[in-house]
Structure formats: structure tokens, C-alpha cells
Structure 1
Amino acid sequence: MMYLILTNIKVDTKDGHPSILEHDNLILKLKTYEDRIQQLTKKNAKPDEESIVKTKSDSDQNNLSVSDHEQVYWSKVGVDEHTKNCDSDFGFSLIDRWRKAKTEVCSSTTDSTIHCHKILQTGHSGTDNFCYVKNMILDVNKAEKPYLSGSMFSSCKKESSWNSNEYQLYLANLMSNVQTDTKKKQTKTLTGRTFFIERDGHANVFHSFTDIVNLFMAVLIHSKGSEVSDMKNNRIIILDSHDNGPFYDVWKLFGEVYRVEEFKKEYADQVIQFEDAVFGIPGGSNFLWKDVWIPNKCYESTILKAFVRFVMSEWKISEHKRRLPNEPIRILFSVRKHKNVQAKIGRRIMNEEELIKLLNEKLTTVSTDNKIPVQVTAIDLGTIGFKEQIEKVRQADIFVGMHGAGMTHVLWMHDESVVVELFPKGWHSSGMRNISKWLGRVYLSWQNVHDKNVADAEHLWTHVEEEEFLQVMKAASQIVQSFHLGSGVDHQNLKFVPK
């Protein structure tokens, strides 16, 4: 399958498939992208009414635009298997796989049905699944956390496929609690999509974003178009008992968010019919977990890039302002603190202050002894609001910190940035390396190999070797500077040279 990705597009839909794409002065009327490719490549084929290419500035509708020629070119050249497989695992082809996996597990006896989407993701030992209930009834007074036992009804008849769907994690509990072959009279109908979600956690940024990215994917799978409004007009019911947590506002970007107790209070004594109820994809099924212990070979995730763009756009976070060649390199040093001094932090840098001083005083280029102007900001990101965390990370040229969930902030870094991840002795993980690569960030790492630098019995508290750290940061700074070569930089003296 081929995807044409354009910026500033408007998409009209018919039966859930793109039918009109508008980009500046170009309008392509399509049934599907594949149909368009086939029609363009057929010899002597006459364009039909549904596939004609029009340009507002060109009355000759038979002339192909640059975009059309690009489609024809790629259809002839083809895409290599590695790229196709990567898109199938981390790109919009994964969305397509979920869509096509739709199976009816409970057929309608009146007006309610249940469909599930089951796929086997690459490298997973079992299948992953999520389900969609049309016109589900919820008796609000009976709804109890976490899985609404005894309160959910669907007037449908179970098919044989019901038992073969291998419902994983909390989905198994939700599906077992839906009472079928039951007609219950509703007192109120809620239109639109409602997602029922049990979070993997509330405080760990990595675990939290496996859930949130899954919601983003589920909305895409069920959207009938690509408009931003499709992403926002949802209802989310949180089933777990965790606190709201620092990322609760991110959930609100998708629509109204309720805890079960809040929903019960607002709709007390009601029997609600949900037009579209979706039992979401569990966080443990998310592709961010894929190859978390080994380097993944894929170089891009269009889903992840789209998700980052969605969050940035909804929160109106300013784009990174490209630094001028003579401006300091902005280094954000993520420190790990704890309000309770008696509590133990898992992975910790024991000489943070010395490293920060080292960067300010001795950071030079790799190839010369010239001092690099740097601006070092050391911060425990957990002490500020999440939107502010994103804003700070977005403006950094280099993001450095000890391996941990906080390094998930590589999601928000700008395109000409470098990630530096530090590891304790004997600890290996490729999760942040993979995310960095999928988003096009430059990734560097350092690992302690010296017993003398281990400060605890678990080998997690680490004195970072200063000279080794300095060399890694020199390399990171050199990479940042390299983005400006050819822009008027006197690389020997590191100053702006007017052209």
C-alpha cells in the first residue's frame, strides 16, 4: 500500500475512506490511493470522472501535476521490504492493519453489535485486541470500578469468534462483563465515541504514554476522516483507581474525561445508551514496548510523529526557534530528585553538580580547543507542569539524563537536537534509542564500566566519569554545530561571519 502524506490537507470522506484531497491549488478525487496509482499507470487509460486531476490555474485537466508524477514514480520503483515492514509496525500501515482486522463477535438481534480488531504484531508472542460496541447500554447506578461488572448490556448474539479472540489484559475483564442477549431500555443516549480505558499507570511518563498513544491510534482507526475535530470530539471514561497524575491534561486533549465516580455522579439513576463504545487498546500492546531491550532496525514512526504534532498543536506550543550560529548551545540536564529524602531513587547520578560545572567551564569542540558557548539548565522536570516540561524540552539542543522514564521526553525534542542517555554499570535498554531514531533525533549514550563509580549495592547509583562524559558532550555539541555549517559559521572561532 502507498501513502501520500501532504501538509495542509483537507479530507472529505465517504464510507470512512478519503475521497477528496486538497493541497494548495491541487485537488485529487480518489476512491483509494491504490485506485489512483493503477489509473495513472495504465497505458492509454482515460481518466474517469472520479479520478481526474484538476488544477485551479490550469484548464487542461489531462496534465499531471508534480504530485501525480511522484505517485507514478514510486509505484514503478516500488518500496523495499524493510520500509514496508517498518511502516506496518510503526507507521500508518499499522492503523490500516487494525482497521482491516475487524471481526464481528456478537451479531445484532435488534440494534447492537460487537466487533473486535485482533492482530499479531511483529515480535509479540500473542495477539493484541480491542473491541467496539454499537449501542451499548450502561446502567449507571450499577457501574462499579474497575470493570463495570453487572452494568453493561448489548442486545446481540455471541458468535463462535467471541471465544477465539484472545482478549488481553483489562480487555478480557471488560468483555466478560458485557451481558448479551439482553434488551434493556435506555433513558438517555450519548452520541459519538466513548472510550473505556484502564491506564497502565499514572505517574510514570513512559507507561502513561503507551496508553495515550494507543488512544491516539484507536481514534485514528475509528475516524471517518483525518480532520483534527475527529481527534478531539471524544468521551473517555477512566476505569482504574490511580490518581489523576501529572499527564491527566493530555487525556483531555481528546475530549471529555471522566473517572467512573464522576460519570456516576453526573448521570445518576440513568440507563445510558452509548452510540459507539470502544474498549481501548491496553498500554502493554503499544509499539513503544517493541524491542525495548534491543536496537530496533526501523528509522521512522509516522504515527509517533503525528502524535507529537497533535499534542504540540492542541497546546499551541511554540515551534523551536532555530539558534543562530553565535548563540549558545542549549543543554537541558534532567536531574532525578525525590521529595522524600528517605526514599531511594532507582537510577541516579551522584555527581550531577560536578558535571554541570564541567559543561559550563570546559566544554570545547572535538577538533579544536575553542570554548563552546553553552547555556546549561539543570531541572527536575517532575517539579513543573507537563506542558511546561514539553516547552523546555522543545527549546533544548541537547537533552541529557540518566536512563529512566523521564527520558521519554525525547518525544518533544526539535529536529536538529541530540539525546545523550547515561546508563549505570550492567544496565542495557534500547527503548529511548528506538524512540529517538523513529523521530529522527541524534542519539548518543554513555555507560559506566568501572566498579569504582558504583555507589550502591544494586549498581544503580553512579558517579559519571567526568572525562568520558566531557568527550560525549563534545561530540553532541559538534553535531549540533554541524547543522549550521554553511550558514556563515567561522568554525575555528565559532562566531557569526556576515556574508
Structure 2
Amino acid sequence: MTSRVSFSARNKARIYCATFERNINRKCPSKHVLEVGSMRNWNRVCCWLLVWMRLTCGWEELNLPEGHISFYLRNNPEVKQKCQEEADCPYKEQLNEDQCWGYEDFCDPQNRLNSTSCPRPSLGWTKDKASQLDMFWKSVDFGYIQERRQELKTICSPKTQEDSLLECVRHTRFCHGKNLYLDFTKPGMFAGQERFKENMFDENLRFSQDTFNKGVMGGHCDLDLGSLRAEGEHKSALQSWYAELEHFSSLPFRPIQDSHCDVIIEKPIYFMKLDAGVNMYHHFCDFVNLYATNHLNNSFSTDVYIVMWDTSTMGYTDLFSETWKAFTDYPIIRLHEYDKKRVCIRDAVFSLLPRMRFGMYYNQPVVPGCHGSSFFEAFNQHLAHRLGLIQHGPLENKIRITLLSRKTKYRNILNEDELVKAMKTVGEFEIKVVTYNRDMPFKEQIQSSYNSDIFIGMHGAGLTHLLFQPDWAVIIELYNCEDHSCYYDLARSRGIHYMTWEKQSKVIQEDEGHHPTLGAHAKFTNYEFDEGEFMRLILKAADHVRSHPKFIQGRKYRFRSGKTKQSEQTQGVRIEL
């Protein structure tokens, strides 16, 4: 049987082959750069074979949760048309669905994805219920993406397709560029231990007495310098890209066409300035904002490079590196790998940052009275799908409880064994005690959390695992150590039920606490909890799980007719009934 490629696909294949001939990347996927001078005349037959494989085996490359496919098709009309035309497209049922994320220009508000509920008052934050819902939508949900999309404006305009482009949202919190030029050839640009050097590309300072010399960042385009200068209010390492883009230059040459490159990067690049890789709460500021960036860029491909923008050569410890597999097929690249090179990039994204003012996840204002962000629910589904997590629940006659044991100097549960024994007296409870540390691979950690109906832990970054819990779950911050809103707000964003210790008289603090500089501090000591009060909270949490509509729905689905139906990479609403 002869495989045929449509006329439009043939044209795409010709373009692809032309690109292939100048891109060693297609021949050697493990090599993330194209060194000028290393091009060869690769066999065209090989190229066409690769193209045929790409065109005939491409649907699985979407690699999205089934519930997200219809959104992707609506946002990518050419892919939707291809699915309509090809008999073997597996997504025919999703072609006519009207639901949208909510940030699209064509999206009717009645059709937007909506998981939000605001049953309680806003405590003065808003004047009425409608404005309360709107505030939650814009600060915690896909409305945040919508506002950033509306802000996008061109900073450096191209005149031809070969020219460069730079476009940014307000305060340069996200930017997108085409055919960019970055000159790292000046000596000492990566010297020292400063991770986020400012004025790195200020040509006026090249011959100053600074400890490092300056490079050039720019493109062949018409620069609106006034528009660029107006976006510097949030200039800060993890809040904007202004320090990096402030001295963007309009160049008198086309970097790639005029052979000014030592390195040409053909694949899309995502530049990221990362928060602490040793702390789950802070590192997930990076991952949540990278997922938001995917939406802003309307691309969920993993055939991209992620470059860690770090102007030093210091090491970076990443305890959660497994998560990168949800976003890229390649190892993370350090910026200093381009030291002493002129780098040309065909497609660059400067990602949303981890600590933006009124940002997504960190510094995020969560209006009182509301919970359930569709964005955070989609993030949960996206990572669960990409990382291959399997949901084994709900179980037929059990509620799965996970207790996080810290095994650290502070915030330990002094009577942990007694509390575990008390929970085990309830036959319905399936109890697991875990210690999430370097001895337990992160994939195993999140698989455990993904299958926790109730997750219990002291205040600390480990509670960030609530992002992976199922929709019907409860997170119990056993004691918040006087930090009342951190994980409460995160749980409300994720849309799961939050509980914490309620009766101060029934908890015993070991001592006043010993902060290294601040003295007495609630986070720097250990605690003992009243067993009876603890069990009251656990039983209350179990009642919530049992009565949750998605838990009930999931049990009916899995155990209908007395037979267990295995659920693979699904949970809650994603279980098809």
C-alpha cells in the first residue's frame, strides 16, 4: 500500500527538508546547537523518510490529556483541519466541542472552563459576587493568561520574514522573539557568583571598570525604544526580564542571513530564571509559570530547549528535575554553555517568572471566599499525564491517608507514632507514613501524593504535594506555625479542601523556637498534638472525601457491577462514565 501525503503536507515537507539540510539538529537530536561550518549534504531520501514518519505518526506527539485535546484543536485551526481530513485522526469526537480555556478571543464566557466556586463572602475585597468571581478568575485562573495576552505589544518590529521580532507584555514579564542575536564573546561575562547580572548587554559600559565586559543582544528590526523604556518598573531578578532586555539593540545586519553566528539554534528556546531548586514550593513557582507560558505561547511541544538564564557558572541543585520531562525532551541547558559565542535563535520565549508582583502562584492575591482554579486543575492533569502518574483510586472500601514525616530538626510531630496508631484503629483507613527526601525518587513521591485522599503534614514545602492530589482530596496542614495563608491559598487555588489545627489549647509546643537570627519563632521548634482532637479532624476530613461528588462518581465508575475498572492516568472528572 502506497502512503500518500496531501498537497499541503508535501509543501510542508519541502520546507521541512530545506530546514533539515541546514540543521544538523534533525540528524543528531542530542546536539542542541548547530555549529556553523559543520553542515553537510545529507541524503534527501533520509530526510523524506523522516518527514513521512513525522506526518504519519504525529498524532501521539500532542501528548496531552484527553480532556485537553478539544481546547488544543480549537486554538490550532490547521491541526483541527488536518484531523477532519485524515481518517486515522483519533480525536474526531473532540472536533465539535465548544468549550475553551477562557482566554481566547473567540471564547464565549459561557463556554469557558470553569471549576470555581465562591460560596463565602470576599470580606471586603469586592462589592458583589460577580466581581468576586471575576477577581478570582483574573488573579488565579485563566483570566490571568487573558490579561497577559491583551498586554502583548511589539517592541521591535520586522519589515520582512527574515527580520527579527521582539514582543512583550507589560513590565517585560513575558516576551517572545524571532531571529535574535546574543553576543557572549566578551571575556568574563560569566565570571563571579552573581546569578542575574544586570546591564550585561549595555554597550555603553563595555569599556568601563566593571568586573565583566558587555555583550550585545538585539535583532534586525525597528526598535521602539520609548515602549521598551516604559516597562522597567518591575526590574528585578525574578520579577521581569527588563534587566536582560533593557539594552536590546536594533542591529544593522540580519544575524543569521549575514553569517554573524557561531551557533544557530533552530528549535524554540524557553529562557527561564529559576527559583530555588532545593525547595519544592519555590521550584514549583517555576513549573507553574512555565505551564502558564505554554498557554501564552499556544505551544505544548516538548521538542524545545529550556535554557536556565544564570550569569554565573555556579552549580544548581535541582531535587525535582523529573518534572522537566513534562516540558522538554532534552536536558536543561545552562546559559554559560554559550560563553565566548555569538548565538542566533530563530524562536525565543522569555518565560513568565517565579516571583512576579501579583504573579501566578507566588505573590498571588487569592480573593477570600473562592476556591477551584481551572488553571491549577489543568496543571495537575497536564503533569499527571506527561509524567505517567496512575490513579488507583478511589478504592472500594478504603480512604487512603498519607502522613508526611519530616525527620528534620524542626517542625516534627513528637507523638507521631501514637497518632498513626490511632488512625489505624479505623478499619476504613489505609495509612501510609512517608518521608520525602533524596532517598525517595521524586516520581515515586508524586505518585504517592497523587493517590492520597488525605495528605497530612506540618507547615513546610512538602505540602506543595497538594498540587498532585486528586480533585476530591483533603490537605491537612497539621500546624501552620503562624503562617496562616500560604498553603491555605494554594489549596484554594488547586481546588481541594484545606484543614488545619483548630484548638490551640490542645497542642503542646516543645519550646519557644530558635530562629538563628530572629530568636523565638514558631517554625523552629517541634509539636505534640492531642490524640482525640487529631482524630476528630481526621474523621471530619474523611467525611469530606466520602461526600465529594467526584469521589462518589469515581467509585461508581471503578466498581460498577462489582468489577474493578482500572483507571490509567485518570482522576476525578477525567474518569469517563
* TM-score above 0.5: yes
- Does 380-389 or 245-254 show the bigger shift? 245-254
Correspondence list, 1:28-427, <5 A = 80-108=130-158, 111-118=163-170, 129-142=173-186, 144=190, 146-147=196-197, 149=201, 150-155=214-219, 156=221, 157-166=223-232, 167-170=234-237, 171-176=241-246, 178-181=248-251, 183=253, 185-223=260-298, 230-240=300-310, 241=314, 243-255=316-328, 256-260=330-334, 263-264=337-338, 270-285=341-356, 286-290=359-363, 296-325=368-397, 328-338=398-408, 344-345=409-410, 347-361=411-425, 371-382=426-437, 383-423=439-479, 427=482
Q: Residue in 1 aligned with 2:571?
A: none
* 1:185-205 deviation line (CA, Å, top 9, x unaligned): 124422242122121211111
Contact 2:263 2:343 in 1 (8 A): yes
Deviation string, structure 1 residues 384-416 (Cα, Å, up to 9, x no partner): 111111100111221001111110101111122
Deviations 1:72-112 (Å, cap 9, x if unpaired)?
A: 9x9xxxx9443333222222222121112112233448822
| Amino acid aligned to 2:404 | S
Q: 1 CA distance for matches of 2:184 and 2:418?
A: 57
The answer to whether 1:437 aligns with 2:492 is yes
SS at match of 1:378: strand
Name structure 2 gaps, 5 residues minimum.
1-65, 85-90, 115-128, 202-213, 513-520, 563-577
Q: Distance in 2 between matches of 1:269 and 1:389?
A: 40
Which residue does the alignment assign to 1:24? 93
Q: Match of 2:265, as an amino acid?
A: L
Match of 2:443, SS state, is helix
Return the offset for 1:174.
Answer: 1.3
Inter-partner Cα distance in structure 2 for 1:269 and 1:291: 39
| CA RMSD in angstroms, aligned pairs only | 3.9
Per mean C-alpha deviation after superposition, the further-off stretch among 430-439 and 277-286 is 430-439
Report the equivalent of 2:543.
478
Q: In structure 1, what is the equivalent of residue 528 of structure 2?
A: 463
In structure 2, relative to structure 1, the CA distance for the partners of 1:488 and 1:160 (3 Å cut) is closer
Structure 1 residues 309, 488: closer, same or farther in 2, change over 3 A?
closer
What is the rounded CA distance, in whole Å, between the counterparts of 2:553 and 2:471 in structure 1? Answer: 18
- SS of residue paired to 1:321: coil
Q: How far apart are the structure 1 equivalents of 2:280 and 2:510?
A: 26
In terms of fraction of residues, the more strand-rich structure is 1
- In 1: Cα distance, 2:97 partner to 2:471 partner: 31
CA distance in 2, matches of 1:408, 1:35: 34
8 A Cα contact 2:307 2:335, kept in partner:
no
Distance 2:394 2:278 in 1: 32
Question: Per-residue deviation at 1:218?
Answer: 1.1
Q: What one-letter code is carried by the residue in structure 1 that aligns with 2:273?
A: E
The question of whether the paired residues in 1 share the 8 Å contact of 2:184 and 2:340 is answered with: yes
The one-letter amino acid paired with 1:479 is: H
3-state SS in 1 of match to 2:361? helix
Preserved CA contact (<8 Å) 1:488 1:497 = no
* 1:463 counterpart letter in structure 2: E
* Residues 462 and 108 (structure 1), Cα distance of their counterparts in 2 relative to 1, 3 Å cut: same
Is this contact kept in 2: 1:197–1:238, CA < 8 A?
yes
CA deviations over 1:360-379 (Å, ceiling 9, x no partner): 23xxxxxxxxx443222111
Q: Distance in 2 between matches of 1:336 and 1:11?
A: 44
Contact in 1 for aligned 2:323/2:387 (Cα 8 Å): no
Distance (whole Å) between structure 2 residues aligned to residue 289 and residue 34 of structure 1: 27
**TM-superposed deviation, 1:16:** 9.9
SS in 2 for 1:348: coil
User: Structure 2 vs 1, CA of residues 296 and 388 (structure 1 numbering), >3 Å: closer, same or farther?
Assistant: farther
For 1:435 and 1:212, the matched residues in 2 are separated by 14
TM-score (norm 2): 0.63
Corresponding position: 1:11 with 2:83: no
Distance 1:85 1:284, change over 3 A: same
Assess if the C-alpha contact under 8 Å between 1:216 and 1:231 holds in 2.
no
8 A contact 1:129–1:281 mirrored in 2: yes
SS at match of 2:379: helix
* d(CA) in 1 for partners of 2:377, 2:264: 35
Aligned AA for 1:271?
A: R
Shift of 1:29: 9.8
Q: 1:351 to 1:35 in 2, by over 3 A?
A: closer
Partner Cα separation in structure 2 for residue 30 and residue 351 of structure 1: 50
1: CA distance, partners of 2:351 / 2:217 = 18
Q: Output the TM-score relative to the length of structure 1.
A: 0.72
Structure 1 residues 114 and 311, CA gap change in structure 2 (3 angstroms): same
What's the % identity of the aligned pairs?
Answer: 21
Which residue is 1:124 aligned to?
none
**Which sections of structure 1, spanning at least 5 residues, go unmatched?**
39-69, 119-126, 339-343, 362-370, 490-495
Q: Could you say which residue in structure 2 is the equivalent of 1:341?
A: none
Deviations 1:105-161 (A, max 9, x none): 33448822322101xxxxxxxx67222232211235445254565334213434211
**Would the alpha carbon gap of residues 320 and 81 (structure 1) be closer, same or farther in structure 2, given more than 3 Å must change?**
farther
Counterparts of 2:135 and 2:352 in 1: how far apart (Å)? 21
Following superposition, the deviation at residue 12 of structure 1 comes to: 6.0
- Aligned equivalents of 1:392, 1:30: Cα separation in 2: 32
1:263 partner amino acid? E
Distance 1:246 1:319, change over 3 A: same
- Is the 1:334–1:401 Cα contact (8 Å) retained in structure 2? yes
Is the alpha carbon distance of 1:101 and 1:377 closer, same or farther for their aligned partners in structure 2, counting shifts above 3 Å?
same
